[in-house]
Amino acid sequence: MLLSEVKLGQQDLAPTSAGHGPVQTIAVTSGKGGVGKTNIAVNLALVLAKEGCRTMLLDADYGMANVDVLLGLKSKVNLLDVLSGKHQLEDIIIHGPDDLLIVPASSGIRQLPSFGIQECAGIVRAFSEFDQTIDCLVIDTATGISESVASFCAASNEVLVIVNNEPASVHDSITLIKLLHSEYAIARFHVVANMVLTAREGNELFRKLLTLLADEHNVLVSYAGYVPDDDALRKAVAHHKAVIEAYPRSRSGMALKNLAKRINNWPRPDCPRGHLEFFVERLLQHKKVDMEELS
């Protein structure tokens, strides 16, 4: 069964969080590993939080705990404790800088298999019970094109595909986009060119992707921007810091701020899509209020 086939039932409509407005949900993904997903997800979430957007960052790369490693965090409890019913989502959240809420994946056990469909559905539902106002959820997905990566993308409103200018990254991004469209009915993607030398190289990389996707007539792919290859980012990673914290005026730091500003202007979702998605009951509530105002 696909997550997009998990239909809404009464049990999904958790009443607790319905009083809050719609949440922008953005899955950060890539076909190939090591292209910069975690750095982009963490820095975007931090910039959004600094801009006053109430932001949550979900580390959905369970086996590797990427976000914890990048930010030098340690947590004793994690999403498995939420899935087993031992803890509520709010019990495992780490409060980061600028009130960024981080949902960690760390378990201390490095060899865990990635989440299956049922676990992904359980995680998406756990967010429904979270009873605080949130404006944006950023999801750092695992490496590769797995069921769990696809499920988290399908449960999000927007999908950000990170790509590098190397053949394997371009090839795997195309494969990912085609698969997410054909199997999960995702039709809208945003591309970030990472580790490019110039803005022009970023543009050309995006054009290359568009050419390779020319046959996908029902897929909308737009360019979100680029992040330059930058030693400051590598240095920040070595010190377990996000580059926008360690070197806010670096080339990559500035590019990430611009990217976050653009993303912050994307329209929020305003109606549910009919399958399991993050914070769906807030959308249902929003829709109901709209209908009541019209009548």
Ligand X SMILES: Nc1ncnc2c1ncn2[C@@H]1O[C@H](COP(=O)(O)OP(=O)(O)OP(=O)(O)O)[C@@H](O)[C@H]1O
In the complex, which residues of this chain contact ligand X (CB under 6 A)? Answer: 30, 33-39, 61, 66, 143, 194-195, 227, 229-230, 233-234, 237, 252
Does residue 286 belong to the site contacting Mg ion (CB under 5 A)? no
Distance CA 110, CA 191 (A): 30
Q: Which of 20, 32, 37, 190 binds Mg ion (CB under 5 A)?
A: 37
Cα distance between residue 161 and residue 273, in whole Å: 21
Report the residue number, 71 or 280, with the smaller CB distance to Mg ion.
71
Question: Of 60, 30, 27, nearest to 179 (Cα)?
Answer: 30
Which runs of consecutive H residues, i.e. helices, occur in 129-250?
Answer: 147-154, 167-184, 199-212, 231-238, 243-246
Q: Which amino acid is at 294?
A: L
Determine which residue in the list 17, 30, 38, 107 makes contact with Mg ion, applying CB under 5 A: 38
Nearer to ligand X, 14 or 177 (CB): 177
- Give least dist CB 244 to Mg ion, A: 17
Cβ–Cβ under 8 Å, residues 69 and 241: no
Cα–Cα dist 222/19, whole Å: 32
- The yes or no reply on residue 106 touching Mg ion (CB under 5 A) is no
- Residue 125 tokens read as 């539902």
Q: Which is nearer to Mg ion, 66 or 106 (CB)?
A: 66
Which of 25, 30, 43, 66 lies at the binding interface for Mg ion (CB under 5 A)?
66
* Minimum CB–partner distance for residue 137 and Mg ion (Å): 17
- With contacts defined by CB under 5 A, name the span among 12-20, 44-52, 66-74, 163-171 that binds Mg ion: 66-74
257 lies in the site for Mg ion, by CB under 5 A: no
Compute the least distance from the CB of residue 163 to ligand X, in Å: 10
Tell me: does residue 148 bind Mg ion (CB under 5 A). Answer: no
Q: How many residues bind Mg ion (CB under 5 A)?
A: 3
Bridge-partner residues for 136, per DSSP? 24, 55
Residue 19 vs 34, nearer CB to ligand X: 34
The torsion angles phi and psi of 207, rounded to 5 degrees, stand at: -60, -40
Please name the residues in contact with 262: beta carbons below 8 A apart, sequence gap of 6 or more.
Answer: 224, 225
Under 8 Å between Cβ of 70 and 39: yes
State the minimum distance, in angstroms, from the CB of residue 131 to ligand X: 30
Please state the closest distance from residue 164 (CB atom) to ligand X, in A.
8
Give the DSSP H or E segment for 257. Answer: helix 251-264
Q: Which does 230 bind (CB under 5 to 8 A by kind): Mg ion, ligand X, none?
A: ligand X
Q: Is the torsion defined by CA of 113, 119, 120, 126 positive or negative?
A: negative
CB 115 → ligand X: shortest distance, Å?
A: 15
Binding residues (CB under 5 A) for Mg ion: these are 37-38, 66
